[in-house]
Amino acid sequence: MRKKIVAGNWKMNKTMEEALILASEVANMVKDEVSTDVTVVIASPSLYLSTLQKYAEPIANLSIAAQNCHQKASGAFTGEISAPMLKSIGVEYVILGHSERRQYFAETNEQLAEKVNIALENGLTPIFCCGESLEQREAGGFLEFVASQLTDSLFHLSAEDFAKVVIAYEPIWAIGTGVTASSAQAQEMHAYLRGHLATKYGQEIADNASILYGGSCNEKNAPELFACADIDGGLIGGASLKSREFTNIAKSY
Ligand code: 13P
């Protein structure tokens, strides 16, 4: 049975004081209301992770995540944060390849393959993001394009390592736009990606891979999206900044 995951990507939002309030509210709600079958992940700005770990630690199904890490373990990379650093403060997950990092920080599939490697070497679970732009969707070939992002950044992994990776499909046109992929559009992509994984790693590993949907997911549309056969949870942006709405999304299962 594959893992159900609802992860909140706070992006570059919240002051320390606000982060403490949001994380403590989420922790209390997760403890009291969310089934332990669902793993809830908070990806706050890295600056707060060490402090927020206190809230996550006592709750079995609550974890913290970084939103990025550098591809090298250490060195002269001013301003960057490494996978060993994240591991040393108890971080369990790291989002890699978010479209905003690809777009604004020019991250490439090749660089992301290195980031995936260093994350796994340090015992972090990558939440690997993929997704097409509106132009790509309209031009056609978008299923193959997204599959190629997985091929280029993940398919060098052994089956054992690949089995540790979580995938998040986030159509760029649905991120922060209020336009969600329909459940049919999301399910089509998720099923296609699972088939693509099966061609490389076999059906069993593909069936066990968690593939999350992200892009204007909220408490209203989550139940329909999460009911799709190949959607195993969500990567939530704007709606993760409100504790009640984020928890309600996690409760959609
Ligand atoms: P929104 O939920 O704000 O569309 O953001 C999705 C996202 O980018 C999560 O990583």
CA gap 188, 123 in Å, rounded: 31
CA gap 158, 166 in Å, rounded: 15
Q: Where are the domains of the chain?
A: 4-250
pLDDT at 236 > cutoff 90: yes
pLDDT at 178: 87
**CA 99 – ligand 1 centroid, Å:** 10
pLDDT at 245 > cutoff 90: yes
Q: How many CB atoms sit inside 10 A of residue 54's CB?
A: 14
CA gap 142, 35 in Å, rounded: 35
Strand, coil or helix: 202 = coil
- Mean pLDDT within 100-104: 98
The per-residue pLDDT for range 10-37, each reduced to its tens digit, is 999 999 999 999 999 999 999 999 999 9
**CA 195 – ligand 1 centroid, Å:** 25
Q: Is 236 in the pocket of ligand 1 (CB under 6 A)?
A: yes
Q: Is 11 in the pocket of ligand 1 (CB under 6 A)?
A: no
The per-residue pLDDT for range 132-191, each reduced to its tens digit, is 999 999 999 999 999 999 999 999 999 999 999 999 999 999 999 988 999 999 999 999
Given ligand 1 and candidates 173, 217, 225, 242, which is best to mutate, with the most ligand atoms within 8 Å of its CB? 217
CA gap 241, 228 in Å, rounded: 25
CATH number of this structure's domain 4-250:
3.20.20.70
The per-residue pLDDT for range 185-217, each reduced to its tens digit, is 999 999 999 999 999 999 999 999 999 999 999
Residues annotated catalytic, as ranges = 98, 170
DSSP per residue, 65-90: EES---SSSSSS-TT---HHHHHHTT
Q: Is 237 in the pocket of ligand 1 (CB under 6 A)?
A: yes
